[in-house]
Amino acid sequence: MIIFKTIFKKMSNFVAVICTSILCNVLLADTVFANEANAQFVVGEVMVKFNEATEPNQLVFRANQSNPANLEILTPVASLLSDKTGIPLTVKQLLSGAWLLLTIDADKLTRWSVKQLQKRNSISDIQLTASESPAIGAIELKNMDVSFQPDSLEYKTIKAKHAGTADDNFAKLIRELSNTLNLPLQGKADQRGHLILQIDAKNMTIELSNRLQSLTELIASVQLNYVATGMQKNAVDGLQ
């Protein structure tokens, strides 16, 4: 009788383990699906891990020898990645496992964008204004209030867009300016005939991740920063 009880207990434990494993797999699948569907990452931040034999990885090792980590040692790494991606970056934090957390330098990116756009002859002026609905994340990008010459095709396109009589020329203009900066842009027309341009911070973060992933000679892995958003969600859930 004791033998049967022991066998029954072991079988019960085995079944419990199997059921728990199945439940975990289902929950994990739902979690992954939710992350992909909602894409809740920190806008403006990416995490990178370098190949072991590279100089950036050696600098990460050196920076990690002090407590707290000496981020100034990593300034050349940020400069190198800025040059290679075309997006100005700064080092925000050194994470465990030799992961480096990078942030897009919003001010430098905006100033560079304005300088590039001013090379266009039809543009008469560009003013920076605060964003009406800034993206929730690590960076806040200002709007670029762009004025075109009154006799230019761009000005006529913007006026037509605001009047509701535009064809696809307005979308073509946004794509053209995006290609000029090699950055994703959003734009709207206002009543003055000005174009209100803003860098699409969320898509730019994804684009940055893609550009970093292409640097296989330097970088072993790149991740969007889902960690911080997950921690924020857990904190909010804990208060409810």
107-201, what's its fold? Threonyl-tRNA Synthetase; Chain A, domain 2 (3.30.980)
Write the single-letter amino acid at 117: L
190/114 Cα distance (integer angstroms): 19
84/79 Cα distance (integer angstroms): 9
| Residue-level pLDDT, tens digit, the chain, 240 residues | 544 444 444 445 544 434 433 333 433 333 333 343 345 899 999 999 999 999 999 999 999 998 899 999 999 999 999 999 999 999 999 999 999 999 999 999 999 999 999 999 999 999 999 876 555 567 889 999 999 999 999 999 999 999 988 679 999 999 999 999 999 999 999 999 999 999 999 999 999 999 999 999 999 999 999 876 554 444 334 433
Q: What are the residues whose beta carbons fall under 8 Å from the beta carbon of 194, sequence distance 6 or more?
A: 145, 146, 147, 148, 158
What is the per-residue pLDDT for 156? 94
Q: Looking at the whole model, is its pTM more than 0.85? A: no
The residues spanned by each domain of the chain are: 1-31, 45-106+203-239, 107-201
What is the per-residue pLDDT for 95? 94
183/187 Cα distance (integer angstroms): 13
The two three-digit tokens of residue 96, written as one number? 């465990």
**201-213 and 75-85 helices, crossing angle to 10°:** 100
Question: Shortest CA distance to 73 belongs to which of 65, 83, 62, 57?
Answer: 62
What is the per-residue pLDDT for 134? 52
